[in-house]
Amino acid sequence: MYVGADYYPEHWPRERWSVYAKWMKKAGFNAVRMAEFAWVFMEPEEGRFDFSWLDEALATLRKRGISAVLGTPTAVMPAWVAEKYPETLAMEAGGRRAVWGVRKNNCFSSGAYRLLSERITRAMALHFRSVPNVIGWQTDNEFGAPPCFCPTCRADFQDWLRRRYGGLDELNRAWGAHFWGHRVRAWSEIRIPPDQSTFNPGQCLDFQRFFTFQNVRFQRDQVRILREVCPKHFVTHNFMGFVPDLNYFDLAEDLDFVSWDNYPIHGEPGMLYDAAGAGDLMRGLKRRNYWVMEMSAGPAGWGAFGRNPRPGEMRLVALQQVAHGADGLIWFRWRTCTAGREQYWHGLLGHDGRPLRRYREAARTARDFKKLEKLLAGTTVKADVAILYDYDSLWATRIQPSFQGNDYQAGLRRYQQALMRAGVNVDLVSTAAGLGGYRLVIAPQLYVLPDAIALKLDAYVRTGGVLLADLRTGVKDESGLCHERTLPGLLSKCLGIEIREYEAIPESTPIAGWLPAAGRALHAIQYADWVIPKTAEKLAGYSGWHLAPYAAVTRNAHGRGVGYYVGTVARESQFYDELIANVIKTARVRPALKPPPGVEVSVRSGRGRKLLFLMNESEQAKTLPVPAGKLEVLSGRKTLAKLTLPRFGVAVIQIR
Amino acid sequence: MYVGADYYPEHWPRERWSVYAKWMKKAGFNAVRMAEFAWVFMEPEEGRFDFSWLDEALATLRKRGISAVLGTPTAVMPAWVAEKYPETLAMEAGGRRAVWGVRKNNCFSSGAYRLLSERITRAMALHFRSVPNVIGWQTDNEFGAPPCFCPTCRADFQDWLRRRYGGLDELNRAWGAHFWGHRVRAWSEIRIPPDQSTFNPGQCLDFQRFFTFQNVRFQRDQVRILREVCPKHFVTHNFMGFVPDLNYFDLAEDLDFVSWDNYPIHGEPGMLYDAAGAGDLMRGLKRRNYWVMEMSAGPAGWGAFGRNPRPGEMRLVALQQVAHGADGLIWFRWRTCTAGREQYWHGLLGHDGRPLRRYREAARTARDFKKLEKLLAGTTVKADVAILYDYDSLWATRIQPSFQGNDYQAGLRRYQQALMRAGVNVDLVSTAAGLGGYRLVIAPQLYVLPDAIALKLDAYVRTGGVLLADLRTGVKDESGLCHERTLPGLLSKCLGIEIREYEAIPESTPIAGWLPAAGRALHAIQYADWVIPKTAEKLAGYSGWHLAPYAAVTRNAHGRGVGYYVGTVARESQFYDELIANVIKTARVRPALKPPPGVEVSVRSGRGRKLLFLMNESEQAKTLPVPAGKLEVLSGRKTLAKLTLPRFGVAVIQIR
Amino acid sequence: MYVGADYYPEHWPRERWSVYAKWMKKAGFNAVRMAEFAWVFMEPEEGRFDFSWLDEALATLRKRGISAVLGTPTAVMPAWVAEKYPETLAMEAGGRRAVWGVRKNNCFSSGAYRLLSERITRAMALHFRSVPNVIGWQTDNEFGAPPCFCPTCRADFQDWLRRRYGGLDELNRAWGAHFWGHRVRAWSEIRIPPDQSTFNPGQCLDFQRFFTFQNVRFQRDQVRILREVCPKHFVTHNFMGFVPDLNYFDLAEDLDFVSWDNYPIHGEPGMLYDAAGAGDLMRGLKRRNYWVMEMSAGPAGWGAFGRNPRPGEMRLVALQQVAHGADGLIWFRWRTCTAGREQYWHGLLGHDGRPLRRYREAARTARDFKKLEKLLAGTTVKADVAILYDYDSLWATRIQPSFQGNDYQAGLRRYQQALMRAGVNVDLVSTAAGLGGYRLVIAPQLYVLPDAIALKLDAYVRTGGVLLADLRTGVKDESGLCHERTLPGLLSKCLGIEIREYEAIPESTPIAGWLPAAGRALHAIQYADWVIPKTAEKLAGYSGWHLAPYAAVTRNAHGRGVGYYVGTVARESQFYDELIANVIKTARVRPALKPPPGVEVSVRSGRGRKLLFLMNESEQAKTLPVPAGKLEVLSGRKTLAKLTLPRFGVAVIQIR
C-alpha cells in the first residue's frame, strides 16, 4: 500500500526539503504526488526545460525511501503559453476567451495546446524514466474543465459528428431535426449548444459525449508517450468521484488504475455516504482497486473553508476508502500553501509548517495501514449487488430532468444509501458490464435505454436475476429520441406492467396499501407513473382519487427471476429501507452484518481471506454484535461477541 | 365552432397520416393548425419551394372533412438563413448574436429577414389560396421574442423616435433629459437601453413601444400579402394571454380575430382565475370572440413537465374558454413529439401514438361542443363591468414598480379574481375603449395617465358611472414624466381626495374602521398613500400612529356617479371581496348567480338567448341553487332548483 | 454651520428660481450644492462653454444670502463625449463597453477622459472663482464606480505594479506566483482579475489598491486645478459611508474636509447604528468634522422607493449627524425631479413643487441648528475608544472571507453597536493613526497585519493600553501571503495565546463558562479558533466535545496593559454587550450616560464646552436620568433629574 501526501517542493525553500522528507518518513509515508502544476518551473520558456529542482527534490525523498507519482502539468498553462498562443485559452459560450490567471482554462481542441502538451509530457517522460523513485504518472489534473466554445471546438464537434453519423440524413434523424424545422444541410451549419435548456436535447447529449471525447483524446496523447517512454511506470488520473461532466468509464480505459480526490469533511451530513458510493464507482470504473490521490487533511475551500477534521476523523475517512478498495492514499496536501487561491485548502501541516495534530493523526493512520497491508494484499470488495451507473442517462436527465427536482445521482443515492444502511456492499458498474455474478441489479432511472441493454436486462431476469427498475426507465433511445413504445417499453414483460400516462406531482400524496411503517405514513412526491400492473403484483399504491387506480411499487415473476418497479419518489428514506429489505430477501443477498445507525460495514476479500471493516461514523460510541473469537487487526485483540467502537472508531475483523 | 388539434404531419411517417385523419374525424374534430415551424420543409433551400408534402397532408385531412389553419413559418429560421444572412440573428444586450438552433431568435428590423418573410408568406399564400380546406392563417407564432440590440435595431429605434418626436428638443423634453445632463444633440447618440432598471424610464418606455412597433410591422408585412392573395381566408395570431411584452391591442388590429395559447394545467393554484382573465382580455383585444389555438392536452414543459390533466379536467378547461367567448379550440398537440425540445409538451396521443384517455376526453369535449354549437352561434359575453388594461402603465410599472413587490398584473388580478368569486362577468378593455355601456369601471394602477383619459374618466363618473381607482394612479404622463400635480391629479375632484405624500410600508399595518370581517383583521401591506379625504367619505383607515390620520379607502359622490379610491394593498383577499360587494352594489351590478367557492359562473348571450355556464373547478362535488325548469344543454335534462356538479363538472343552462 | 439642499435649477423653469430662493431663505437655509451633473449644460459641445444659466441661478441665490458648493461634473459624461471618444466608456469584465445613458461609466485611465475632466474643471474654476457666493467645490460625485477592464486600464495596472514592485521577481514573490505555476516573465502578461473568487488573492488585493489609485489620481488632477485657480475655496467630496470599494483614507487626503451622503430612512432596522458608525468613520478619515452633502428628505429608490420619513424623523437623523461631528447638512434634494431615473428619490418638495410637511420639518431643523451654532463652534467628538478600520483587511476578507457569512464590516459592527448601546463614543481610524490618546483600541479582524502594525499594537498594550482583537487577526501580510507564524503571530505575546488550528463551524455551539447572562445561553456560530491560552486567562469556552479544550474569549495582562482576544462569532448581541462592559471597565472608559434601549448618546466638546446629545431613535417616549440644572439648548429650559424624550425627540444638554 502506498501512503503519503501531495507535495509541492517548489513552494518551499530548499533547506526545508530534507526536513520534510525526514518527517514524512517518520510518519510512515512512502509516496508523494508532485509536479502537476509546475509546468512553468519545468519549461520556463518555450522549449527550454529545467528539471534540476525536481531532480533534487526527488533525490531528497529517495534518501528516505519515498516514491513519487509525477503529474503531467497541463492543467495550468504557463503565462507564456497564453501570451504566445492566445487561441489555447478556452472560450466561454458568450464568446469571451478565458483570462489567463486561473487553471483548467485551455481549449482541448487547440492544435497548439495539444502539441505543447505532448512536448512537455515527452520531455518529462524522457527525463524521469530512469529516476528510481519515480513509480508512475498522473495525467493532467481532475479532467472536467468547463467546455470551450471556440471556432476550433465547433469545427472539431462537426468532425466528430461526421465520424459518428456518416451522413447528414443520419444526423438529422438522430437529432429529430424535423422538430422546429431544424434540419441541417451542411456540417458547417451545426453549432455547439450554448446552453442545455433550450437547444435540441440530442445535440446537447452528443456535445456532452464529444466533450468526453476531447478529454479522452487529450489524455491518450499523453498516455501514448508515457507508455512508450516509461513502460515500467503506471499511469493513472485523479478523478472527482460523482462529478458528472465526463464519462469516467471512457476516461479510465487508458489507465492502469483509477485514482480519485476525496474531500469528505465539509460539515454537510451524508458526505460519508457519498464517499462510500464514489469509492464504489471508482472501483467500478475498471472493476479493480484504486487510489485516493487527494484526501481531506484539514479545513478546505477557496474563499471560505469548512470545518476541521475532528480528532480521529481523518483516520476514519481514510480507512473507509480502504474498506471500499483503496490501495493507495495520498493526503492533500503536505503543508498548507501560504500563497494563491488555495491558501485555505489546508494540509497536514499548517501555514506555520509545524507537524502538529493533523500530521500525527496521519502518521497513526499510516501505522494502521502497515498493520493491514499484508492481509489486504490481493483482496477487493466482492459485491452481490450491482447498481448500473449510466452517463447517457445522467446527462439526458440533466438536459431534461422530466420533473422538478429530479437528479439522476439523487435517484441513485436513494438506493445506494439504503443498501449501506442495510450493510450490503455494492458495485457501481456501467450498463456494458457483465451481470452474471450479481444476485441483484438496481438500475435507477435508465432514462436512455438502448434496445440491447433492455434485452440484456430482460435476459438477466429470465435466467434468475432480480432487477429493480424505476421511473423514467426506457424513455429514450441512444440518440435522445423518445421511444415510440408504451413504457416501460422492452422491459414491459420483465416488469409486468404498462404505463400509459405519468405526471409530475406538485404536492405529496400518501403511499397506500403497503409498508405499514410503524405508525407514520410514507409519501410519494415529485412524480408518479400511472402504473397498471399486468402480470405484476401491486405492492404499494396511492391515496387520492386520481392516483388510486395505479400502483406505486410492483413485483413481477419473470422466468426464473423477479422484476421490481418503483413508479414514484418517496419522501421518507424509510420507504427505501423497507424496499431494499424486501428486494434483498427476494434476491437472497445477506449482509455480513446489519449495522446499527451510524456504523458502516464493508468487506474486502480475496486469497481466501475476508476482512470485515466496521466504521463508526457517528460521534457517539456504538456497541454492536460481531463474530466472536476473531482477530481485530488494528488492536491485535480477539473479538468478543460484542464490540464497542468509540466515536470515529474503526475495527477490521478478519472473519476468514 | 372549430375544434381540433395542432398537427405536425412532417413529424410522422406518411402511412400514419390517413390513420390520424380517421381518428380525428372519429373524435369529432373539424380543424387543425399546421406548418408554423415547417419553413425548412417548404423552402429547403433559398428560393426553391416544396409544398407537395403539405398538399398531401391537407388532401388526407380534406377527405375526413377537416379544415386547416396554416401558420406562416417565420418563428423558426432554417439553418440556411442563419448561415447565409447571419445579420438576421438577434443580438443580445451584451453584443452576442443568437446561436442558431432554437426559435424566435431573429432580428425584426433586419431587411433580409423581412424580405425572406415576405417571400415565404407570398409563396405559401399563392400555393394554398385555392386549397379548399385551408380556411385561414396564423401569422408567425407567439410574437414576443426577446428584443434585439443590433446596430440595425438601434438605427431603426432612432428612426422611430424621429418620426414620433419630430425634433430632438421634443425628445429631450419628453425623456426629461435635463436629468443627469443626458440631453442628446444628434439622433445617432441615442442607444437602446440594455436594461430597464438603470436607464432613463422614458427611454425604456419608448423602447417597449418600439418593440411592439417592430412586431406589428413585421406582422403587417405578412398580413398585407395574405389579404391580397387570399381574400377569403381569415388571419389570426396566437397570443399568449397575460404575457406582457407587446401591446396586444396594437398587434390585434390587423387581424380578423384573436387566438391565444392556453396552458392552465401546471399544478399551480389559481391558474383558472388567470385562464378566465386572459380569455376576457383576448375577447377585449378586438371586443369579439376568439379562438384557443393551443390548449393543454397533457403534462407540459421543456425540461420538466407538470402534472397530467386529471379525469374530466381537459373538458372543464376547454368549456371554461367557451364560457368566456372562445369559438374555436385547438389542442396542443395531436401527438407528443418524440424529438426536440418539446418532447415533454404532451399531446392528446402519447409518445406511443395510441389514442388513449386524453384522446377520449377530447372527443367527449368535442361532442359537448356539438351540443352547444347552435345555441352559441351569435352569442358572446356581455359584461356590465370593465377593467381597464393599459400596457403603458404595465410597462412603466415594470420599469419603476414604485414599491417592492408591485406588479401591474398582480394589482389587476386582485379585483378580477374578486369579481370572479362574486360571479360577475368582466371585460378587459383598453383605455381607448368607450365606457358608455358599463355600470362599473375598475382602473387598477393607471400609473401612466394622459390628461384625455383622466378627463374621460371624470366625465364617465359625472354622467353616472362608478369608478374604482387605486394607488399610483395618475403619477405619470404619456412620456413617462411625473405630473407636477398633487395626486391624484385630474382625478382629484372625481375621487374627492388629496394625496400629498405616500410611502412603501415594509411591515403590515392593520386596516381600521371598516370591514368588520367576522373576527379577523385585515392588513395593509407594501404601500400606503397618505390620503386626505376632501369631499370623499373615508371608508377605511389604518392603525399605527403615523398613518392614523389618513384614509385607506374612500368613496366620493361626483355628479351622478361615484368614485372609489383604494390607497393601499391588502394582504387578505377578503378585503377585495368586501370591497367588490360594496362597489357592485353601488353600481347596481348583479351577478347571474353567486357561486359557491370553487365554482365559476359565466354567461354568454345574444340573439335572444342566454346561456349560463357553471363550472366546478374544484375536486369535490358542489351543489348550488339554479333557475329551475330550464334546459341543461350538456345533459339534455331540465333543471331542478338545485344542481350538483361532480368534480370538474360543467353545466350549461339555457336561462333564456 | 451650513444647512440647505441639493439644488438643480436646470430642472426647473427660470420663473421658479426666485421663488425657490425665497422659500429656502424662509426655511433658514444658507447653502446649496449644484451643478455636479450639469456638464452638458456648461459645455454643450466640445470646447464651447456656457455658464450663463448658472450665473443667473447663483445670482438669484445670492440675493437671499445663500452660498453654493459647485460639483465638478465628471460623474456623467455628455453624449458627445461618448460619441466622439468611445474609449472613455468603461469596459465590463466580459469585454462590453458601457452603453452611454446612465452615469459613473467612464474609464479612469482614459487619457481623453482625464483631459476632458481637466478642461471642464479649469473652465469652471476660472469662471466661478470670483463669484461671491461660491464657497467651495465637490469633486465629481460619489467616487466608486465599477472598475474598468479595458486595455488602457490593464496597461495602467501593469505600470502601477511596475512602480510598486520594481521587478518581476518581487511581484512573483508578493503574489506567491509559485502556486499553480503562475510566475510571469513580462509585465505584459499580467491581467486584471475579472473576478475576485478564482484569481490570485494578492493580484485581487493589488487591483483593489490600483482602483483606489485611479480614483485618487483622477480627483487629484481636479484638486490641483481648483487649488491653483480658487485658493480661497474649500474642496470636498461626497463619500458614501461604509461603501467599501475605495480606500477612503487615501481619497480624503487631498481634501479640506470630508462630506458624505446619508440615507438612513429605508425601513430597515439598525440603519441609525450605521449612520452613527459611518459618521464616526467620516470624521475619522481626516480626524476632523465633516459635512453631510446629501441627506434623506423623503422616500428614496430608483425603481422602488422606501418609506417616508415619519413626523419628526428628518430632524432626528439630521441632529444625529451633528452629534457625530457634522458641521454642514444638505438635504437631497430640494424638489423631487419629475424626470429620469431618480424620479422617486424624493426631495423636500414633492413632484407638485409645494412646500409641505417635509419642507416644514427641514425648516424646523434649520432653526435648531441656529440655536446650536455658536455652542458647537470649535467642538467635535473626542473619544476614548478607537476602532481600527482597515481597507486592506476589508478587501482581503471580501476576496477570501475565510468562513461562510464572514464580512469585515459586519464584524466591526458587532463592537461598534455594543459601544453605542453602552453610550460610549468611538473614533473609526486607520491603522496608521496614533493610538496614544485612546484608552481602548478595538481591532476587528486585522486579517492583513503588517509587522509594523503588530509591533505598534504590542507596544500600545505594553505601555498601558487595552486592546481587543479577534478571529482571523494576523493571518496575512501586506501582499496577501499568509504569515508562516503560528497565529496570532506577532500578537501572540500581547494576547497570551496560541492558535494552532481553527475551523468554520456549520452549526451553533453553546458558549460555556462565562457570561451567565440571566438564564439564556449564548452561542458561538460560523467560526472557532482552537485557542490555547498560554499566559492569558480563559474567560469563556465552548460546550461540545471537540471544542471543549479551547478558549472562546481570553484576557491577558501584558506589560502595563491588557490584551483581549475573541476567537469566535456570537449569535446573540448580548454577548457583545457583556464583553464591552468587561472591556471598558478594564480600560476605565466611562460613558457620559448609559442610555436606555432606543436612545443614543453622543458628546461634542471643545473650547471648554461639552454638549450632550440625547436622541430617542424609537417610536415610543423614553424617560432617562440626566444631569440636573443644565441648559437644554433646543428648548432653552433647565434640566430636571429626569428627562422625557418624545418619539424621535432630541435633547442637547450643555453639561459644561
Helix (H) or strand (E) holding B529: strand B523-533
Which residues of chain A neighbour B647 with C-beta distances below 8 Å?
545
- Across the interface, whether the CB atoms of B101 and A199 are under 8 A apart is answered yes
pLDDT above 60 for C517 = no
Give CA–CA dist C313/C325, Å, rounded.
19
Q: Please indicate if any CB of chain C lies within 8 Å of the CB of B530.
A: yes
Closest residue in chain A to residue C187, using alpha carbons only: A79
For B95, the closest chain A residue by CA position comes to: A94
Q: What pLDDT score was predicted for residue B517?
A: 56
Select the residue from B180, B190, B407 to test the C interface by mutation, using most C Cβ atoms within 10 A: B180
The verdict on a CB contact (< 8 Å) between A180 and B80 is: no
Amino acid B186: pLDDT: 97
Q: Is the pLDDT of residue C294 over 60?
A: yes
CB-nearest partner of B76 from A180, A399, A485: A180
ipTM over 0.85: yes
Is C198 within 8 Å of A302 when comparing Cβ atoms?
yes
- Which pLDDT does position A520 carry in this prediction? 77
By Cβ distance, the residue of B186, B485, B504 closest to C305 is B504
Q: What distance in Å separates residue C357's CA from the closest CA in chain B?
A: 9
pLDDT at A269: 65
Q: Cα–chain-centroid distance for residue A292? A: 12
Is C501's CB within 8 Å of A306's CB?
no
A 64-103 residues with CB below 8 A of B? Answer: 94-95
Kindly name the residue from B36, B142, B313, B632 that is annotated as catalytic.
B142
Hey, what's the torsion of the CAs at C334, C335, C336, C341, to 10 degrees?
A: -70
pLDDT, tens digit (0-9, with 9 covering 90-100), for C189-218: 999 999 999 999 999 999 999 999 999 999
Task: Report pLDDT for B386.
Answer: 98
Which secondary-structure segment (H or E) carries C123?
A: helix C111-128
Query: Distance of CA B227 to CAs A97, A526, B235, Å?
Result: 50, 49, 8
**B76–A181 C-beta distance less than 8 A:** yes
Neighbours of chain A (3+ CB pairs under 8 A): B, C
CA C634/CA C652 separation, integer angstroms: 6
By annotation, the residues of C acting in catalysis are: 142, 294
Which residues fall within 8 angstroms of residue B521, CB to CB, at 6 or more apart? B510, B511
Catalytic residues of A: 142, 294
Which residue from A40, A268, A299 is facing C183, i.e. has the nearest CB? A40
A108-132: pLDDT as tens digits: 999 999 999 999 999 999 999 999 9
Q: Say how far residue C483 (Cα) sits from the centre of its chain.
A: 29
CB contact under 8 A, A340 and C402: no
**The predicted structure's pLDDT at residue A518:** 59
Parallel/antiparallel/unpaired status of strands C551-558 and C561-566 = antiparallel
Q: How far is A621 from chain C (nearest CA, A)?
A: 13
Q: What type of residue is A611?
A: L
Per-residue CA distances from C373 to C66, C361, C633 (Å):
17, 18, 11
Do B337 and A198 count as a contact with CB atoms less than 8 A apart?
no
Please report which helix (H) or strand (E) contains residue C189, including its range.
none
pLDDT grade, residue A145 (50/70/90)? confident
Tens-place pLDDT, residues A560-587: 999 999 999 999 999 999 999 999 999 9
Question: Each residue of A601-632: pLDDT tens digit?
Answer: 999 999 999 999 999 999 999 999 999 999 99
CA B444 to each of CA A619, B234, B394, B425, B449: distance values in angstroms, whole numbers, following the listed order = 60, 34, 10, 17, 12
Place of cell 405529496: A508
DSSP string, A569-588: EESSHHHHHHHHHHHHHHHT
Block residue for cell numbers 459525449: A209
**C13 and chain B in contact, CB less than 8 A:** no
**Residues of A in Cβ contact (< 8 Å) with C503:** 299, 305-308
* Residues B541 and B550 sit within 8 Å (Cβ to Cβ): yes
When scoring A92, A97, A178, A547 by the number of chain B Cβ atoms within 10 A, the one with the most, hence best to mutate, is A178
Instruction: Indicate the burial class of A614 (C-beta count within 10 angstroms; 0-12, 13-18, 19 or more).
Output: buried
pLDDT for the residue C519: 63
Q: Which residues of chain B have pLDDT under 70?
A: 266-269, 515-519
3 state SS of C208: helix
Residue of C nearest to A46 (CA): C185
Given 3-state DSSP classes, what are the helix, strand and coil percentages for chain C, each rounded to the nearest 5? 35, 25, 40
Candidates A63, A70, A74; CA nearest to A8 is A70
pLDDT at C238 over 70: yes
How many helices (H) and strands (E) are present in chain B, helices listed first? 17, 26
A45, A352, A358 member nearest C484 (Cβ): A352
* Residues of chain C with C-beta less than 8 angstroms from the C-beta of B182: 40, 76, 79, 101, 340
Q: How many CB atoms lie within 10 A of CB C172?
A: 17
Contact B352 A502 (CB under 8 A): no
Inter-chain contact C339–B184, Cβ cutoff 8 Å? no
Task: Provide the grid cell at B541.
Answer: 383607515
C-alpha span between B200 and B177 (Å, rounded): 8
Q: Give the mean pLDDT of chain A.
A: 97
CA distance readout (Å), C130 to B523, C127, C136: 59, 7, 11
The CA dihedral of A246, A248, A252, A253, to the nearest 10 degrees, is -80
Distance CA A182, CA A189 (A): 10
* Interface check C332 vs A, CB under 8 A: no
Cβ atoms C264, C160 nearer than 8 A: no
Query: What is the number of alpha carbons within 13 Å of residue A451 lying toward its C-beta?
Result: 4
Q: How far is C81 from chain A (nearest CA, A)?
A: 27
**pTM score, two decimals?**
0.97
Domains belonging to chain B, first-starting first, are: 2-146+230-376 (3.20.20.80), 385-587 (3.40.50.880), 599-654 (2.60.40.1180)
CB neighbour burial string for B175-204, b if at least 16 within 10 angstroms, e if fewer: bbbbbbbbbbeeeebbbbbbebebbbbbbb
* Interface membership of A541 toward B (CB under 8 Å): no
- Check if C16 contacts A (Cβ < 8 Å): no
In whole angstroms, what is the distance from residue C323 CA to residue C290 CA?
Answer: 11
Residues A19, A9 contacting (CB under 8 angstroms): no
A618–chain C Cβ distance below 8 A for any pair? no
Among B112, B106, B165, B174, which residue's Cα sits nearest to residue B140? B106
Helix, strand or coil, per DSSP, at residue B22: helix
User: Any chain B CB within 8 A of the CB of C619?
Assistant: yes
Distance from CA of C376 to the nearest CA of B (A): 32
pLDDT-wise least confident of A284-288, A539-543, C269-273: C269-273
Secondary element (H or E) of residue B482: none
B641 touches chain A (CB under 8 A): no
Neighbours of chain C (3+ CB pairs under 8 A): A, B
Asked if C604 and C648 count as a contact pair (C-beta separation under 8 A), the reply is no
For B400, the 3-state DSSP assignment is: coil
Best residue of A503, A509, A530 to probe chain B, by most B CBs closer than 10 Å = A503
What is the number of CB-based contacts under 8 A between chain A and chain C?
156
Q: For residue C149, what are the contacts with CB-CB under 8 A and spacing of at least 6?
A: C90, C91, C92, C93, C95, C192, C194
Cβ <8 Å between C267 and B504? yes
For chain A, first and last CA: distance in Å?
Answer: 21
Does the CB of C307 have a partner CB in chain B at under 8 Å? yes
User: B485 CB near a chain C CB, below 8 Å?
Assistant: yes
Q: Is B391 on the interface with A (CB under 8 A)?
A: no
Residues of B in contact with A201 (CB under 8 A): 340-341, 343
Smallest CA–CA distance from B342 into chain A, residue = A179
Whether residue A515 has pLDDT greater than 90 = no
pLDDT at C319 (0 to 100): 98
Task: State the Cα–Cα distance between residues C522 and C542, nearest whole angstrom.
Answer: 10
Cell triple for C331: 438635504
| Sheet strands (E) in C80-133 | none
| Packing angle, helices C201-229 and C111-128, rounded to 10 | 30
* Subunit contact B403:C304, Cβ cutoff 8 A: yes
- Taking an 8 Å cut-off on Cβ atoms, the answer to whether A336 and C482 are in contact is yes
B touches which chains (3+ CB pairs under 8 A)?
A: A, C
Are A365 and A324 contacting, i.e. CB atoms less than 8 angstroms apart?
no
Using an 8 Å CB-CB cutoff, list chain A residues near B78: 181, 183
Cβ pair A419, A324 in contact under 8 A: no
Q: Which residues of B touch C307 (CB under 8 A)?
A: 503-506
Quick check: A41 and A78 in contact, CB under 8 A?
Answer: no
Contact (CB, 8 A) for B56 and B14: yes
Mutual orientation of helices B111-128 and B201-229 as an angle, nearest 10°?
30
Residue B443's beta-bridge partner residues? B469
pLDDT of A525 above 80: yes
- Strands A537-542, A497-512: pairing kind: antiparallel
Determine the residue of chain B that is closest to C335 in CA distance: B484
**Closest chain B CA to residue A95:** B96
Alpha carbon B474 to its chain centroid, in Å, reads 24
* Residues of chain A found within 8 Å of residue B10, distances taken between Cβ atoms: 178, 181
pLDDT at C513 over 90: no
Which residues in C351-377 are b (16+ Cβ under 10 Å) and which e?
Answer: bbbebebbbebbbbbbebbeebeebbe
